[in-house]
Amino acid sequence: MPTTGHLIRFLVSLVSALLVAAGASAADEVRFNQVELRAEASREVRNDLMSARLSVDANDPTPAGVTAALNRATAEAIITAAAFDRVKAQTGQTYTYPVYDQNQRLVGWRGRADVRVESQDFQALAQLAAKLQPTMQLGGIAFTVSPAQRRKVESELITEAVEAFRARALIAQRALGGSSYRIRRVALDTGGTPPPRPYATTRAAPAAASASAPPPVFEGGETRIEVTAIGLIEVE
């Protein structure tokens, strides 16, 4: 009956033989020319989503008075925005802070609140901004490609990028004198979402002037959307 020592030596020999066989098999495997390739597909897409920030300031001897004034102003802005079906509005950040005189004595409180609006209807958002400007300051306007439009374009560009990758793979195969190629790996990069295209900040005009002034006209511009295919091919 074999002892434990004999059994261990047998197992070690078996494992060694298997490793040697695996190494020989790997050495016998034919290695072909490997080429790393990169291909891109891009498109200029019109920005179809506009967003803006409207803010209101308030002053009061007490922090509660400031908060109440800001809440009233933002609530009125949300109610006004509700009349515009194609505009989405939501309250943003609210700040309240003390005000001191030159002798560092507390003389009152000040605050600011934001309302953020966005729409694919630029004219409707411009009309809303003009309606709110007598009491609020307009700023932080930006233009982007809407998520739905971005997904649609990226899906189309993925197909184009892969086709471009295959075309380059064929060029590499012919340049190396190969008869065929196979893709070992490929990764697709959509580059993420670029920052929105900003627009000049607009200060609130006097109430009388704003009431009669026409709404501003905005041009959203375009954003380049790109998909990149990066991978490795093996030419035979």
Query: Considering the domain boundaries, does residue 79 fall inside one?
Result: yes
Mean pLDDT of 144-153: 96
In this predicted structure, what is the pLDDT of residue 16?
57
- The pLDDT assigned to 18 comes to 52
Residue 185 lies in a domain: yes
State the pairing for strand pair 49-60/137-144: antiparallel
pLDDT digits (tens, 9 = 90+) for 181-214: 999 999 999 876 666 655 544 444 434 444 445 6
Considering the domain architecture, whether residues 182 and 76 belong to the same structural domain is answered as: no
Same structural domain, 107 and 159:
no
Tens digits of per-residue pLDDT, 36-46?
999 999 999 99
Confidence grade of residue 13 (pLDDT, cut at 50, 70, 90): low
Q: Which of 102, 122, 144 is the last residue of a domain?
A: 144
- The string of DSSP letters for 164-223 reads HHHHHHHHHHHHTT-S-EEEEEEEEE---PPPPEE----PPPPHHHHHHSPPP-----EE
Strand 222-235 versus strand 197-198 pairing type: unpaired
- Which residue segment(s) compose the domain that 163 sits in? 30-48+146-205+218-236
Quick one: pLDDT at residue 199? 55
Residue 192 in domain: yes
Q: Could you say which of 92, 120, 144 is where a domain stops?
A: 144
Domain identity same for 67 and 104: yes
- Each residue's pLDDT tens digit, 205-232: 434 444 445 666 777 899 999 999 999 9
Do 94 and 129 fall into the same domain? yes
- Considering the domain architecture, whether residues 156 and 227 belong to the same structural domain is answered as yes
Q: Tell me, what CATH number does 172's domain have?
A: 3.30.110.170
CB 93, CB 47: distance < 8 Å: no
> Is 60 exceeded by the pLDDT of residue 118?
yes
- The residue-averaged pLDDT of 127-148 equals 91
Tell me, yes or no, whether 134 and 169 share the same domain: no
Question: pTM for the full model?
Answer: 0.71
pLDDT tens per residue across span 56-84: 999 999 999 999 999 999 999 999 999 99
